[in-house]
Every structure is written in C-alpha cells, then in structure tokens.
Amino acid sequence: MNEERYLLFDQYLQDELTPDEKANFEKQISDDPEFAVEFGAFKTAQQQLENKFGIAAEREAFKENLVKVSDKHFHKNKPKVIALRPWNYAVAASIVILVGLFFFNYTKNPVYEDYSQHAQAYFTERGHANTTLKQAETAFNTEKYKAAIPLFEKLLKESKSPEIQFFYGISLLEENKYEKAETVFEALQSGTSIYKEKATWNLALCKLKQKDYAGCKKILLTIPEDYEDYVAVQLLLKDLE
C-alpha cells in the first residue's frame, strides 16, 4: 500500500472528501475486499496508536520522530511533498522495521483495551444479503457481540466462510469465551485465507486479555513482518518487554 492510499484513507476518516469522492471510496470498499481489509487495518492501527500515545508529552515526542522518519524515507529525492498526518506513517510497517522508534519505557503491563480496536464488518454488501447476515453485521459493528454470536453461529451452519469465522471469533473474544475463540482463530491460522495472520494476532490478544503475557509474546513472535498491521505487533512486543 502506498502513501497516496494512506492519504486517501485519512481524508475519508477526517471527512475531507467531496461527496462524489466519498461515494467512490465507499463503492470501492464494497467492491474490493482487499481494499476494504487494508482500510480496516489502517483505521484499526490509527485508533491503537491514538489510544496508546494518549499522554501528551509522549505522543508529541513520538510524532516528532515520525516526521523525521517520513522526511528521510518517504520524501527523499521527491520534488513534491505530500503532507501526511504523522499517525499515517506509524501504520507503515516499513518505518518500524527500518528505524527503532519505540523507545518509551512503560512501568505497567499492556492491557487488551489498548489493542482491541477491531475493523468493522462490510461483508453484507459483497454477496447475497440475507436478513441474518445483515443482523450479524449490524450487531458486530455496534459492539453488541453477545447478540452477534448466535447470528454468526447460524450463518456458519450454512457456510464455513473464513470471513464469518473471523468476526465470530472476535465476538467470542469480546465476550470472554476464550476457549471457543482460540479454536476459531487456530482453524483460520492453519488455513490459507486472508485472515490467517489476523487470526494469529487475535490469538495473541486472547492471551493478552487473560494476562498470559508470556503466551501473548510467544504468538506475536510468529507473525511475519509483512503482516499488514505489523506496527501493532511491534507496539505490543515493546510493551511486553
């Protein structure tokens, strides 16, 4: 994903697009699953970073470093500079890999809520929309996970869609049904769908929520650096040190 797409995602979230541009953006989310997944990852990472660096002094220092890195790695040899918000650069795993940005020392263990900003479900518009699917999407997106669980279970009896399994697993996790959630994520982890690495990340979150920090770290270390939300992996690993 390139920096122009980061800018587009940010403009949409900041409501800076024209009505036509917004309509085209939302159509692309509906028509292009890969684009929707990338947007969801961007939004999630942005929320995670804003939550994580809520303390003003630390956040400003972090932003200052991101600006320096962006000048070095994105604007080198380019005649035109695109003014991206500092949080956008934080989403790029390449920055995390190239430069050691995470130098803050935290005295307390990380908490699940710092990393549990889940992407919303958009699957209803991509296929045949039935009542149960729409209800499940609405329940999940409004964080009514207890209500979403039986709806997902009904859908999974008809089709073992990796997408439905993934959001079902998150709903179980949010309702503290750890054993069932881990079973769902482990099944996705052993598959080849686009949810493979996302499932691994959520397995780590299962351990984090249960305060099994060693287990969480062990799982995080298996996530490859090309995972689209690797910045969150790096942040959590740093917190676990």
Determine contact, residues 161/155, Cβ cutoff 8 Å: yes
CATH 1.20.1290.10 for the 112-239 domain, yes or no: no
| 159 token code pair | 């089709």
Average pLDDT of span 183-187: 97
How far is residue 63's CA from residue 41's CA, in Å, rounded to a whole number?
A: 20
| Distances in whole angstroms, Cα of residue 5 to Cα of each of 13, 48, 80, 198 | 12, 19, 16, 21
Question: For residue 36, is pLDDT > 60?
Answer: yes
How far is residue 149's CA from residue 175's CA, in Å, rounded to a whole number?
A: 9
The torsion of the CA quartet 69, 71, 76, 81, rounded to 10 degrees, works out to: 140
Query: Using 50, 70 and 90 to split pLDDT, how confident is the model at 143?
Result: very high
- Greater confidence, 207 or 12? 207
Average pLDDT of span 3-28: 83
| Distances in whole angstroms, Cα of residue 190 to Cα of each of 35, 183, 186 | 24, 11, 6
Average pLDDT of span 124-152: 85
Average pLDDT of span 18-41: 84
Question: For residue 74, is pLDDT > 80?
Answer: no
Mean pLDDT across the chain: 77
Numbered ranges of CATH 1.25.40.10 in the chain: 112-239
